[in-house]
């Protein structure tokens, strides 16, 4: 089996030992960490998300997958600590009722690697917490994720609250996640949508008028 396919399958199967053995083989062979993250690891995350939505995986499995993913980032030397806000400040979280963490964590990591300061609020985040974080951190962007179709409509609740608090004019809203689309983003009044982590970073830069080569 191709090592990248094996890595993907190991993550989907939550086989930590096989996953890290294969990951180290790939790194030793000279594979670029971001190619691994955005290739087989991202593909595995998508599959894990679908299994969760279909009821084959539960919260326990999602937490294991998130833990393996975060350990892999550390293994590859990709830190999750905040950077200086050289490009802007992004408040990010998975919306209320949704505990999907993996895709959101990847976007947060990519944003940090690109020079944004990221305030990660975690999962199951309600509108009050988003609003308070925008005030506390003088955020430029609110980024929201939703895996489930049953939770994505809460994104509009957050946008409405930002408007009620007089904050909507000063922050851009970026959404993403398996249950979302460009059309959905337009329908709820978000400023941008990213279909994956790479596009999410590109859209974040575009929303703030930052050149894509930065």
Dihedral sign, Cα of residue 153, residue 119, residue 86, residue 73:
negative
Q: Which CATH class is domain 3-75?
A: mainly alpha
Q: Hey, is 10 helix, strand or coil?
A: helix
- Average pLDDT on 105-119 reads 83
User: Same CATH topology for 3-75 and 89-207?
Assistant: no
Q: Whole-prediction pTM value? A: 0.69
Query: What is the spatial distance between Cα 45 and Cα 37, in angstroms, rounded to a whole number?
Result: 10
Closest CA to 77 of 39, 109, 104, 107: 109
pLDDT tens digits, 161-207: 999 999 999 999 999 998 999 999 999 999 999 988 778 988 999 99
pLDDT tens digits, 126-144: 999 999 999 999 999 999 9
Q: Where are the domains of the chain?
A: 3-75, 89-207
Q: Which two tokens stand for residue 25?
A: 């083989």
Query: What is the spatial distance between Cα 47 and Cα 44, in angstroms, rounded to a whole number?
Result: 5
Judge: domain 89-207, CATH 3.40.50.280: yes
Query: What is the spatial distance between Cα 198 and Cα 111, in angstroms, rounded to a whole number?
Result: 9
Structure-token match 């691994």, residue found: 36
54 φ, ψ (degrees, to nearest 5): -80, -5
């Amino acid at each position: 089996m191709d090592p990248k396919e094996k890595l993907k399958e190991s993550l989907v199967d939550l086989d930590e030992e096989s996953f890290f053995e294969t990951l180290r083989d790939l790194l030793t062979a000279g594979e670029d960490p971001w190619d691994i993250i955005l290739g087989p690891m991202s593909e595995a995350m998508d599959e894990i998300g679908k299994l969760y939505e279909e009821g084959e995986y539960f919260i326990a499995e999602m937490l294991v997958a998130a833990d393996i993913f975060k350990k892999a980032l550390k293994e590859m030397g990709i830190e999750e600590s905040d950077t200086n806000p050289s490009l802007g400040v992004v408040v990010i979280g998975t919306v209320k009722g949704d505990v999907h963490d993996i895709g959101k964590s990847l976007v947060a990591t990519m944003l940090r690697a690109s020079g944004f300061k990221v305030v990660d609020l975690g999962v199951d985040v309600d509108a009050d917490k988003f609003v308070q974080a925008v005030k506390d951190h003088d955020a430029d962007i609110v980024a929201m994720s939703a895996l489930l179709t049953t939770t994505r409509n809460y994104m509009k609740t957050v946008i409405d609250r930002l408007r009620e608090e007089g904050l909507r004019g000063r922050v851009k809203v970026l959404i993403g996640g398996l249950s979302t689309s460009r059309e959905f983003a337009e329908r709820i009044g978000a400023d941008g949508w990213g279909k994956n982590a790479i596009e999410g970073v590109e859209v974040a830069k575009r929303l703030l008028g930052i050149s894509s080569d930065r």
